[in-house]
Amino acid sequence: MVKAAGKQSCGRLVFASFLALLAFGLIADFLWASSHRFSSSAMLSLPSSVTTVVGKLPPIEKDSSNKKKKKDDNGRERKLSATFQDLPAPQLHWEKMSASPVPRLDGAAIQIRNFLYVFAGYGNINLVHSHVDVYNFVDNTWGGRFDMPKEMAHSHLGMVTDGRFIYIVTGQYGPQCRGPTAKTFVLDTDTNTWSDFIPLPVPRYAPATQLWRGRLHVMGGSKENRHTPGLEHWSIAVKDGKALEKEWRSEIPIPRGGPHRACVVVDDRLFVIGGQEGDFMAKPGSPIFKCSRRLEVVFSDVYMLDEEMKWKVMPPMPKPDSHIEFAWKVVNNSIVIVGGTTEKHPETKKMVLVGEIFQFNLNTMKWYVIGKLPYRVKTTLVGYWDGQLYFTSGQRDKGPDDPGPRKVIAEMWRTKLILNP
């Protein structure tokens, strides 16, 4: 372990060694980045531990001028491409559809038949939406905007549907890095009317949420400070948008807490996929709850609950992936996941977005990388209609050579979905 806190010598050591990696027979790069100093003044704390990154290392570009160069003990220069975590993926033909009425980041989406209900989200870091936009896959138009209840959270919601009623659980209330509310609502999509639902025992930020065996399940997410992973798991019996019990009951905690994972029920089994521990937090004392970067750990873990009510470890994702809570669809017994964020860059500590589509085939329990997105993008909202995979919203990368997050988007894209049988 290399630790150089307090030493001002720029003794940044990069120790790189190549190992044969188990997955994909690729090459792993172990990198010790020490005493890295963050450019953001919002950075409050640094990890004292070693950052280890295992991932794919494509050929290093010689000409990328703005990449940071580091010297090892022998004075040789070496740099790690910002794009080192991109995976080889088939090129797809993408068609640009009409853009959503507003750009949104960290929104939520639920598809019911040919409608994609798109909720809430940040327009920018100081502005949050409090309405729903609806996309119609039949005529490919947006419309039907309606307001959310004033007390409903604006981002990082837990959300699930039974095909008519949409359950909306907790989430972050307000812009910047404000904390979550425990308030919970139900939308009847036949009448577009809202009702209150029994609040979660405590507020949760971006919890994993699903309907399973007649119960609404809510688990993980972050605690009130946005950063500390919660392991708790609750459920409550529901039917037709109403609770059948007076209170939430505790269930088996999830193996790893934290926000931003996909939570999917297929064939009577509940899966939680990817996600992270840690997230941005409000700067202490900031009257506007200004977001300040905290380091997160992104994971590729996949866990499953079945009738035994014990968590089982499933094959991991091809790479760590987070910010995917509404970025998935189930098609032909496969879970398809679009974009996200992966582990931060080990040198710059910058967030790294994901530009691939993944398939988890539940017939074979195998993961595949099935295509490239038009760009890397996180917190996309995904739908599927008539053979086409759609995504809208989220935050895209800075460009092909820079996987860091930049623009919050309203764009809607589609491509023909091609799955591995």
The first and second tokens of residue 29, run together, are 């790069």
Rounded distance, CA 183 to CA 169, Å? 7
Nearer to ligand NAG, 184 or 334 (CB): 334
The least CB distance from residue 347 to ligand NAG, in Å, is 39
Q: Are 79 and 71 in contact (CB under 8 A)?
A: no
The least CB distance from residue 330 to ligand NAG, in Å, is 11
Q: List contacts with ligand NAG (CB under 6 A).
A: 331-332, 417, 419
The least CB distance from residue 306 to ligand NAG, in Å, is 24
Q: Are 350 and 402 in contact (CB under 8 A)?
A: no
Q: What number of other Cβ atoms are within 10 A of residue 4's Cβ? A: 15
Element (H, E) at 381: strand 381-385
Nearer to ligand NAG, 299 or 384 (CB): 384
Rounded distance, CA 394 to CA 104, Å? 6
Nearer to ligand NAG, 34 or 388 (CB): 388
Nearer to ligand NAG, 267 or 307 (CB): 267
All residues at 6 or more sequence positions from 335 whose CB lies less than 8 Å from its CB, including other chains = 262, 264, 266, 271, 273, 328, 329, 359, 360, 362
The least CB distance from residue 373 to ligand NAG, in Å, is 17
Amino acid in the structure at residue 183: K
Nearer to ligand NAG, 286 or 332 (CB): 332
The least CB distance from residue 185 to ligand NAG, in Å, is 33
Nearer to ligand NAG, 169 or 357 (CB): 357
DSSP secondary structure string for all residues of 286-331: -TT--EE----EE---EEEE-TT--EEEEPPPSS--BS-TTSEEEE
Q: 60: number of CA atoms within 13 Å, CB side?
A: 12
Nearer to ligand NAG, 348 or 388 (CB): 388
Nearer to ligand NAG, 126 or 420 (CB): 420
The least CB distance from residue 134 to ligand NAG, in Å, is 24
- Tell me which residue has its CB nearest to ligand NAG: 332
The least CB distance from residue 414 to ligand NAG, in Å, is 13
3-state class of 128 per DSSP?
A: strand
The least CB distance from residue 385 to ligand NAG, in Å, is 11
The per-type count for the chain, helices as H runs and strands as E runs, is: 0, 38
- Residue whose tokens read 């797809």: 92
